[in-house]
Chains A and B, each alone.
Chain A
Amino acid sequence: MTGDSTAQRGTSEIAVEAKRALATAAAEPGSAKPDPILEARDMVRNFGGILAVDVEHLEVQRGSITALIGPNGAGKTTFFNLLTGFDEPTRGWWQFDGHQMSDVAAHRTAAMGMVRTFQLTKSLTKLPVIENMKLGATAQRGEKWWNALVPSLWRDQEHEIEARADELLARFALGHMRDEYAGALSGGQRKLLEMARALMTQPRLVMLDEPMAGVNPALKQNLNDHIRGLRDEGVTVLFVEHDMDMVHDVSDWVVVMAEGRIIAEGTPDQISNNPDVIDAYLGSHQGTSLLEDLEALEDLG
């Protein structure tokens, strides 16, 4: 990311359009958006007797940065897994950009323009950084075994991919690590690499699972800029995060999950004042003293 685009962050046409669109959306769970790129209905995932995900309705506005927050165990990652085909819902229906996704295998979603990262970073440690990146490109001719033995069939494409990979590495400040093994990167650099690698698929929707976990504060600012940069290029971003500062700083829209359900939606400002959200995070007794609770109990007893 260059200094220029940092200066104009959030002011690109797409960003302004997304913000305007979201201003018209109601700040309530399951609210409809003017132009959803992702829509989920009635999605349920049971693990044995535990209801991990029970989402009635969710729409994600195209061109926006949407944060998915919630306390630990709220079902955010499971919901991610369902949407990307890494897990199968007990029941449910969802669509991405006009494609119904229920029967789409996980490996097909990337080619359709939907890519995800993982909570525990999955850098391929025994491959060099540049090879990690090149792996991300979709529709590579040389990845078919019958083409693999004839380099002339894929060499041009490989150069193209490599040029694109180098560009992204430079943008994510990983250019100097290009030929190192990914295992030699620090935790934060691995997060960056995973994000950059996901972008190699040229997605329209990026789903980031806790991009800030284990990243130092200086790098966090940097990551925020990258995420805004993506949105300004027209990529929709949906991310799971615990870091409230980051959520407030970067997102256009916030969705709150607790106990598998979506309990609130709205702009960051609306969410930070929403009593349901405060309850979900801090417990419903927040703000009342313990003595009052005891008195209430005695009254009941």
Chain B
Amino acid sequence: MDWEAIFEGTVKSFIGINAVYFAIAAIGLNVQFGFTGLLNFGQAAFMAAGAYGLGMTAHYFGISFWWGIGIGIVYAIVLGLLMGIPTLRLRADYLAIVTIAAAEIVRLVVRSVKFKDVFGGSDGINEFSGEFRRVGTDVGFEVADSYGFWWFTFTGRQMWTLVVGWILVAFFGTLVYMLMKSPWGRVLKAIREDEDAVRSLGKNVYSYKMQSLILGGVIGTFSGMVFALDRGSVQPDNYSRDVTFYVLTALVLGGVAKVSGSIVGPMLFWAIFVFIESTLREFTRDGPVRIGDFTLIDSTQVGQINLALIGLMLMLLMIFRPQGLFGSRKEMAFDDR
């Protein structure tokens, strides 16, 4: 067993690109789900909005890459309005149904053959991140050099995206923290508890829910952008349902309705994910693990077993620590509605 490689991978994934783009997505999802109680199961669609906003600049519009940030935000706002207008007046479950369907519609449309020249079909879009990389080299990250220390060593290309990504995490984390401390955030939290009570006190619940959905979506958009920039490509199948649910799992792990939870949750999620995955890989490297004639696990099953274990972990978490690692037990205790 090469424990050092396992631990190096694990430690690295604490701050790696996956943790970053999950953290941004989770901060956004937390605004909707954690603070407002909106069941958005389509965060992947908002992430795709950002990724395609960037990707389509050179590919379709033929304009500078930087416009893509604005285009992504506009996409996210439009998507939020489309999802929210028909559903936010209804019971919470309808939003869940619509968002999960809308996210799939978005993915199927962008990967369709019909719109291949707009969205690039199932191959996606490449070659749009050149201008972003150039800024990276300008500020001193040579693409092929190594940066960092100890196990935290990344190539200049990775490091530049990580730096930008963590700045965004810090920015959005602070933004959401400040908003939730304000009277505006108080209204959102109250809506989560009982929207009729909030309505009777003179707040336009529908409008607040829309604001929350769109704010969370726009933050999610930046997550998609960071991911696309790291890959240097936009692939439709990177924005499927599972992404939304992994982000949700990571958020619950950290603790909903806490900004710290939405950042540390994704870090832990990926560390655990990588640890289990690489440990199982090490176990099965010299052939399947057997007990007598019974094959316990072989190397082709590592991915599935890993997901099963993550699922088990989520169940145990919900049973024994429903407030997540950072949530307050006391707050969770009043579930007497």
Contact = CB atoms under 8 A, between A and B. Distances in A.
Among B178, B197, B202, B337, the most chain A Cβ lie within 10 Å of the Cβ of B202
Interface stretch (B91-99, B119-127, B186-194): B186-194
Interface of A: 84, 86, 105-111, 115-118, 122-127, 131-132, 134-136, 138, 140-145, 147-149, 151, 154, 158, 181-184, 194, 197-198, 200-201
A144 to B, nearest CB: 7
B202 A111 contact: yes
B200 A110 contact: yes
B139 interface: no
Q: Decide if the interface of chain B is mainly helix, strand, loop or mixed.
A: helix
B201 A125 contact: no
Contact of A201 (B182, B202, B211, B337): B202
B202 A107 contact: yes
Contacts of B185: 148
Contacts of A184: 334
Contacts of B189: 124, 126-127, 131
Contacts of B196: 86, 118, 122
Contacts of A134: 183, 186
Contacts, number: 111
Among A107, A117, A200, the most chain B Cβ lie within 10 Å of the Cβ of A107
A127 B194 CA distance: 11
B201 to A, nearest CB: 5
A144 B201 contact: no
A131 B334 contact: no
B330 A145 contact: no
Contacts of A109: 202
Contacts of A200: 201
Contacts of B200: 84, 86, 106, 110, 115-118, 122, 198
Contacts of B197: 118, 122-124, 194
Given A86-B199, A107-B204, A115-B200, A127 B175 contact: no
Interface string B319-337: 0000000000011011011
28 contacts: A106-B199, A107-B199, A107-B203, A118-B196, A118-B200, A122-B194, A124-B189, A125-B336, A132-B190, A135-B201, A135-B203, A138-B202, A141-B183, A142-B184, A143-B184, A145-B215, A151-B178, A154-B183, A158-B183, A181-B330, A181-B331, A182-B334, A183-B333, A183-B334, A184-B334, A197-B201, A200-B201, A201-B202
A107 B203 CA distance: 5
Given A86-B196, A134-B186, 13 more contacts: A106-B200, A107-B204, A110-B201, A115-B200, A125-B334, A126-B334, A127-B190, A143-B183, A143-B203, A145-B179, A148-B178, A148-B185, A158-B183
B205 interface: yes
B198 interface: yes
Contacts of B204: 105, 107
Given A107-B204, A149-B175, A135 B198 contact: yes
Contacts of B187: 135, 143
Interface of B: 175, 178-179, 182-187, 189-190, 192-194, 196-205, 211, 215, 330-331, 333-334, 336-337
Contacts of B211: 145
A210 B185 CA distance: 31
Contacts of B192: 126
Contact of A144 (B178, B184, B193, B205): B184
- 10 A-B pairs closest in CB distance: A183-B334, A110-B202, A142-B183, A122-B197, A148-B184, A148-B182, A124-B193, A125-B334, A143-B183, A122-B194
Contacts of B179: 145, 148-149
Nearest to B196: A122
A78 to B, nearest CB: 15
Given A125-B336, A149-B175, A115 B201 contact: yes
A132 to B, nearest CB: 8
Contacts of A143: 183-184, 186-187, 203
B199 A126 contact: no
Contacts of A142: 182-184
Given A124-B197, A125-B193, A127-B193, A151 B202 contact: no
Nearest to A110: B202
Contacts of A122: 194, 196-197, 200
A163 to B, nearest CB: 15
A81 to B, nearest CB: 10
Contacts of B205: 107
Contacts of A123: 197
Nearest to A194: B197
Contacts of A141: 183
